[in-house]
Each structure stands twice: as structure tokens, then as C-alpha cells.
């Protein structure tokens, strides 16, 4: 059986004793216990986000706030815990209210049998969710050391190459809420954005999602960043919930995380499998990159962090291996500087020509990210 964890918010002592007996008998791990809901719930919500219980057991007879608001708030964290409403005695009105509010069970003494059955149902549904989650796609992120290093350029060009290379489906998601340019560069034709996904979390399923994304290139779909200032205020939790869903729909998900580290990006990075930090061979950018690497390491981010140096020039002042030494992270890939090629392409509203030198570099980087063996150089008489 799937191992469940629970948070208990119960005031009545007898009820609490009965519940804790049932949880013990069912081998459910209790991650927090509270005698009631605090008025200021900021700390509690942080705790729930962090501890990610599968279920919150909530005594409903004693609440001051409308149950609907309380349940909605408790479930607004990434793990979307189930809420079991418990009460000292049955109360027909309260049963309806609890179920309408989004509680998945309504329980009252004697608890033993119904409680056990409810936990079993929950374990089964959590298990299937978990399997779906495991079967979900790889999540990678591009992030600029400072503005203009090329995170968006790399994210878009890798996204173009990846579907054919991995023979799978790819989502490019623009998480740069300040200046989301992916939609423009990819000629996204949807009027919807991440804000619409976040506002409709309850309705997210395959067909709803399909209405939000754009597709222009084979195997690639794009979800844009919100453009209206009022829509840009998305919380880390909302974004994580959207991404948790999105990654179940694709083989790969590519994020453009904009520049440098914010609380939102740090929270996204917890979900990410690989982060590609994009810098340029100039001291201010390298300085920021070094700081970011240090911050991520200090915060104990366990996933792979890789360095891409963009806009390298032949005979430039700093060599790639020197940059790697300086930052304490070897250079995963470097990209030559070719401003003209990009401007020409953008003037035509295209990405760079795949057969150009810059285009070929993006394809190589994408293949390396995908873990494909490097192509052998063709033997040529002309060198």
C-alpha cells in the first residue's frame, strides 16, 4: 500500500484520541498536529507546503471561518492534500456543506471502520497519481545569469530541435513573468497564457490544456507568459501546480526562467531535473553566475546544474576552460557570438536557419541535453 502522511487539526480531545488511534493502526505518518486553526495561517500554509501531507484531518464543528474558504486554502498547496472533515456527531446539513466545500470525506464516531475505508480509498488514489507523476516528462530550465545573456534564445532553439531528436513531445513554457518573449519569438498564436492555466487549476485536463497552448512546429507546444500587468502576479504555488500537470502531458518540458534567482524561480527549481545557467564571457555576467551557483549549492539544490557560455568570440579574452575554473563548474557548452544571424532571422520572424553555424550549434547543444552521442565529424577533402 501507498504510505500516507496526515496533518491533524482537531480541537475535541476524545475525537483527537480516536483519530490518532486509527492513524496508528493504519500506519499513517502524522506530520503535524494542531488543536485548532490559527487566525493567521501564513506559517501553517508554509508548513503544509513543505511537509506535503496526503490528507488533512479537520474538525469542522468548531471553525470560525466558512468551511469552503478553509478547505480551499488548505488545498491550495502543491501536494493538494485531501481534506477529511470530522465532527463529534453527524449533522446532515454539515455533511452537505463539507462535501460541497471540497472535503473528500465526512466522518464522525465511531470512526474506526469508515475512517479505515477512507484512508484505503485515499491511498489508492494517491498511488495512481504518483504513478502518473512518475511517468511524467523531464523538466529542464534555462536561466540567465543577468539580463540579456541568452536564456530565451537557447530555450527557443533547443525547443525547436528536441522533438525530432528525442522523437517525443515537448512543451516550451515561458516563466519569465516580467518580459516573456517566447510567445513573440515562437510566433505563438494562442491568446491564452500560464495565467489562464493557473486560474483554472481545477479544470486542467488534456483537452482544456490543449486550448491554452500554441503549436507551430512539429512535436512542440508553447505556453506563453501572461502579458497583461494584472495577470503577471502568479504565485509560486500556482506555477508549480500548472507545471506538475504540464509535465504529465509531455516527454520534455523546457522552462525559460528569465534572469537570476527570485523566490519564484527558486521554488520552480525544486521541481526541475536540470538547470542550464546561461552566461556570457564578460565579468559582470560571470560574477552573477558565480553567485547563483554558490546560492544554489548553499540552498542544497540536488539537481544537475550546467553552465552554458553564450556569445563566445574567437580569440576572446577569456577561454571556456578558464570560465569553468573561475566558476567552479565546467562549461557544458558554448555558443559563438553571431548577432547578425539572429537579427536576420528575427526580422523574418524565424528562428535561425538550422543549417547555419549558429543553428548547428543549437542542434548540438540540444542533442547533448538529450543525452545523444555526439555526431562524428564528416570526413571532407576540403577540411
96 grid coordinates: 452537505
Cβ nearer to ligand ATP, comparing 13 with 314: 314
Binding site for ligand ATP (CB under 6 A): 144, 147-153, 176, 179, 258-259, 310-311, 335, 337-339, 342
Cβ nearer to ligand ATP, comparing 152 with 244: 152
Q: How far is the CB of 173 from Mg ion (least distance, A)?
A: 13
Cβ nearer to ligand ATP, comparing 5 with 152: 152
Please give the Cα distance from 99 to 121 (Å, whole number).
Answer: 16
Cβ nearer to ligand ATP, comparing 35 with 148: 148
What does 147 interact with, of ligand ATP, Mg ion, none (CB < 5 to 8 A by kind)?
A: ligand ATP
Cβ nearer to ligand ATP, comparing 226 with 258: 258
Cβ nearer to Mg ion, comparing 104 with 144: 144
Q: How far is the CB of 338 from ligand ATP (least distance, A)?
A: 5
Q: How far is the CB of 252 from ligand ATP (least distance, A)?
A: 19
What does 310 interact with, of ligand ATP, Mg ion, none (CB < 5 to 8 A by kind)?
A: ligand ATP
Please give the Cα distance from 249 to 137 (Å, whole number).
Answer: 7
Binding site for Mg ion (CB under 5 A): 152
What does 148 interact with, of ligand ATP, Mg ion, none (CB < 5 to 8 A by kind)?
A: ligand ATP
Cβ nearer to ligand ATP, comparing 23 with 335: 335
245 grid coordinates: 500537470
Please give the Cα distance from 105 to 102 (Å, whole number).
Answer: 9
What does 78 interact with, of Mg ion, ligand ATP, none (CB < 5 to 8 A by kind)?
A: none
Cβ nearer to ligand ATP, comparing 98 with 345: 345
Q: How far is the CB of 152 from ligand ATP (least distance, A)?
A: 3
Q: How far is the CB of 4 from ligand ATP (least distance, A)?
A: 42
What does 249 interact with, of ligand ATP, Mg ion, none (CB < 5 to 8 A by kind)?
A: none
Residue sitting closest to Mg ion (CB): 152
Q: How far is the CB of 210 from ligand ATP (least distance, A)?
A: 27
Q: How far is the CB of 176 from ligand ATP (least distance, A)?
A: 6
What does 23 interact with, of Mg ion, ligand ATP, none (CB < 5 to 8 A by kind)?
A: none
Closest CA to 170 of 242, 219, 214, 243: 219
What does 214 interact with, of ligand ATP, Mg ion, none (CB < 5 to 8 A by kind)?
A: none
What does 160 interact with, of ligand ATP, Mg ion, none (CB < 5 to 8 A by kind)?
A: none
Q: In this structure, what are the phi and psi dihedrals at residue 66, rounded to the nearest 5 degrees? A: -55, 135
Cβ nearer to ligand ATP, comparing 167 with 178: 178
Three-state secondary structure of the chain: CCCCEEEEECCCHHHHHHHHHHHHHCCCEEEEEECCCCCCCHHHHHHHHHHCCCEEEEECCCCCCCHHHHHHHHCCCCCCCEEEEECCCCCHHHHHHHHHHCCCEEECCCCHHHHHHHHHHHHHHHHHHHHHHHCCCEEEEEEECCCCCCHHHHHHHHHHHHHHHHCCCEEEEECCCCCCCHHHHCCCCCCCEHHHHHHCHHHCCHHHHHHHCECCCCCEEEEECCCCHHHHCCCHHHHHHHHHHHCCCCCEEEEEEEECCCHHHHHHHCCCCEEEEEECCCHHHHHHHHHHHHHHHHCCCCCEEEEEEEEECCCCCCCHHHHHHHHCCCEEEEEECCHHHHHHHHHCCCCCCCCCHHHHHHHHHHHHHHCCCCCCCCCCCCC
Q: How far is the CB of 264 from Mg ion (least distance, A)?
A: 15
Q: How far is the CB of 285 from ligand ATP (least distance, A)?
A: 10
Amino acid at each position: 500500500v501507498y504510505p500516507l502522511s496526515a496533518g491533524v487539526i482537531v480541537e475535541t480531545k476524545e475525537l483527537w484520541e480516536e483519530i490518532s488511534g486509527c492513524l496508528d493502526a493504519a500506519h499513517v505518518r502524522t506530520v503535524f498536529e494542531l488543536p485548532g486553526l490559527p487566525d493567521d495561517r501564513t506559517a501553517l500554509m508554509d508548513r503544509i507546503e513543505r511537509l506535503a501531507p496526503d490528507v488533512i484531518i479537520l474538525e469542522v464543528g468548531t471553525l470560525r471561518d466558512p468551511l469552503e474558504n478553509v478547505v480551499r486554502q488548505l488545498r491550495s498547496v502543491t501536494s493538494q492534500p485531501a481534506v477529511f472533515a470530522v465532527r463529534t456527531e453527524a449533522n446532515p446539513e454539515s455533511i452537505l456543506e463539507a462535501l460541497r466545500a471540497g472535503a473528500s470525506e465526512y466522518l464522525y464516531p465511531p470512526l474506526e471502520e469508515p475512517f479505515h475505508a477512507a484512508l484505503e480509498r485515499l491511498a489508492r488514489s494517491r498511488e495512481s497519481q504518483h504513478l502518473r507523476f512518475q511517468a511524467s516528462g523531464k523538466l529542464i530550465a534555462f536561466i540567465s545569469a543577468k539580463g540579456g545573456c541568452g536564456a530565451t534564445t537557447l530555450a527557443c532553439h533547443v525547443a525547436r530541435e528536441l522533438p525530432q531528436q528525442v522523437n517525443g513531445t515537448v512543451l516550451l513554457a515561458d516563466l519569465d513573468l516580467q518580459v516573456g518573449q517566447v510567445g513573440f519569438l515562437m510566433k505563438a498564436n494562442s491568446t491564452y497564457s500560464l495565467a489562464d492555466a493557473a486560474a483554472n487549476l481545477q479544470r486542467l485536463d488534456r483537452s482544456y490544456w490543449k486550448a491554452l497552448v500554441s503549436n507551430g512546429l512539429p512535436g512542440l507546444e508553447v505556453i506563453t507568459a501572461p502579458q497583461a500587468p494584472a495577470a503577471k502576479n502568479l504565485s509560486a504555488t500556482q506555477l508549480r501546480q500548472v507545471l506538475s500537470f504540464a509535465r504529465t502531458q509531455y516527454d520534455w518540458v523546457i522552462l525559460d526562467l528569465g534572469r537570476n534567482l527570485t523566490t519564484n524561480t527558486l521554488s520552480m527549481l525544486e521541481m526541475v531535473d536540470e538547470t542550464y545557467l546561461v552566461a556570457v564571457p564578460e565579468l559582470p555576467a560571470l560574477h552573477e553566475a558565480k553567485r547563483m551557483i554558490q546560492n544554489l549549492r548553499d540552498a542544497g539544490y540536488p539537481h544537475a546544474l550546467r553552465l552554458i557560455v553564450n556569445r563566445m568570440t574567437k580569440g576572446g579574452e577569456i577561454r571556456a576552460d578558464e570560465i569553468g575554473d573561475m566558476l567552479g563548474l565546467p562549461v557544458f557548452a558554448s555558443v559563438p557570438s553571431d548577432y547578425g544571424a539572429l537579427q536576420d532571422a528575427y526580422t523574418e520572424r524565424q528562428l535561425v536557419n538550422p543549417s547555419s553555424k549558429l543553428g548547428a550549434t543549437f542542434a548540438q547543444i540540444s542533442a547533448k541535453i538529450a543525452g545523444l552521442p555526439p555526431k562524428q565529424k564528416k570526413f571532407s577533402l576540403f577540411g
